[in-house]
Amino acid sequence: MTLDTAPPGGLRRTLSALGAAQAYIGLVLVLAVGIATKGEMFLNETNLTNAIGAFASRGILAVGVTLVILTGGIDLSVGSLLGIASMTAAMMLSKHSLEPWQIVPICMVVGAFFGFLNGAGTTWLRIQSFVMTLAMLSVVRGLDRQVSDNVSVGTQITGPDGQLTPQAEAFQLFGTPGHNLFGRVYYPVLAFIVVCVVFHLILTKTRFGRHVYAVGGNPTAARLSGVNVTAVTIAVFTLSGLLAGFAGPIDAAYSASADPQAGQSYELDAIAAAVIGGASLAGGKGTIAGTFVGALILTLLDNVLGLNAVSDNWQLVIKGLIVVVAVVLQRPDLFTFFRGGSRS
C-alpha cells in the first residue's frame, strides 16, 4: 500500500523557494538581530569592516571547499593548508626577506601541491575524500609544527633602525587592520570579493564549471558524456588547496604572526559557509554567491554574538545548530520527513 504524503504543488513550490532562499533569509535575520540588540554599535562601518576582514581568509577557504562539495566530495584539510601557507609566508618574510609578490605565489604553490595530493588520493587510490583530507589535515599540521619547531613566527620584521623593513611594510597590506585601499576598502575584504567573482565566473561561464556540476550531479552520467571525472576531481581539490595557500598570507598579516595552530577549525567554518549558502553535500547543487552570503552570515553572527557577550562555547553551539537547520532545509523530502511518511 502506498502512502501518499507528498505536499500539494503550491506548498511544494513554496518549500522549494524557501530552500533556495534560505541563505538570504538567514542574512536578513542576523542583520535584524544585530540591529535590534546593538543598533548603531553593530552598524558602525569600522565594526562591520573589521568583522568581515577577520573572516575573509575563512571566506576564501569556503570558496575552495564549495568547489569540492559541488563534485560530491569534502575537504577537511583547508584549515591546515592555510596554516602551513601562513607559516611559509612568515618564514619567507623573516628569514629570506622576500617581497610579497614572491611570497604569495610560493604559498599558493604549497597549498596547490597538497590539494593535488588530496585529489590524487581520492581518485587514483580511491580513498574517500573525507578520509583522505582528514589524513592530510593531520599530515600538514604535523609538518607545520615540525618546520616551525612549535614556535610562532612574527611578520612585523624590523631593521636596525627599529622600523619595519620595506618587505614587512608591504606585507602588512594583506591583512593588517588600518591598511585600506583608497583609505576605505580593507584589502582582505577586496581579496575575498575578487576570489568570489572569479570563481563565480569560472563555474557559470566555462566548460570546466559545467563539468564540476555534472560530476557532482551524476558522475556515471558525466563519464558517459565524455567528462574526465578524474581530472575534474583532482582539479577542484588542487584549486581548493591553491585558495588555502592564498588565504595563508592574509591570515599571517592579519594576525601579525604565523602560529603552528593557525587555521585550526577553519575548515568547519568554511564548510558551514558553503552549506548555509545552499551547497548540497550530495554534490551538484550550490553557488559561489550562496557561499558568499553564507560567509557573511557567519561573520555577522560571530560579531553579533560577540557584541552581546555570548561565550565562545555557546557560539559554537549556535553555529552548529544553524548548520543542521541549513542541511535539513535542503532535503527534497522535507515535507514527508516531518510528516513521518514515505514516498512509496
Contact partners, residue 125, CB within 8 Å, separation at least 6: 132
Which tens digits make up the pLDDT trace of 224-259? Answer: 999 999 999 999 999 999 999 999 999 999 888 898
Place of cell 557559470: 204
C-alpha cell belonging to residue 300: 555577522
Residue 344 clears pLDDT 50, i.e. is over it: no
* pLDDT band (50, 70, 90) for residue 343: very low
Nearest to 60 by CA among 191, 148, 161: 191
Q: What was the pLDDT predicted at 321?
A: 86
Q: What was the pLDDT predicted at 17?
A: 60
* pLDDT band (50, 70, 90) for residue 3: very low
Q: What was the pLDDT predicted at 8?
A: 56
Domains of the chain, residue spans? 56-154+163-328
12 vs 186, residue with greater confidence: 186
Q: What is the mean pLDDT of the chain?
A: 86
* 207-214 mean pLDDT: 96
Which tens digits make up the pLDDT trace of 257-313? Answer: 898 888 888 998 899 999 988 898 888 899 999 999 999 888 888 888 888 888 888
CB 156 within 8 A of CB 175: no
Q: Which CATH architecture has domain 56-154+163-328?
A: Orthogonal Bundle (1.10)
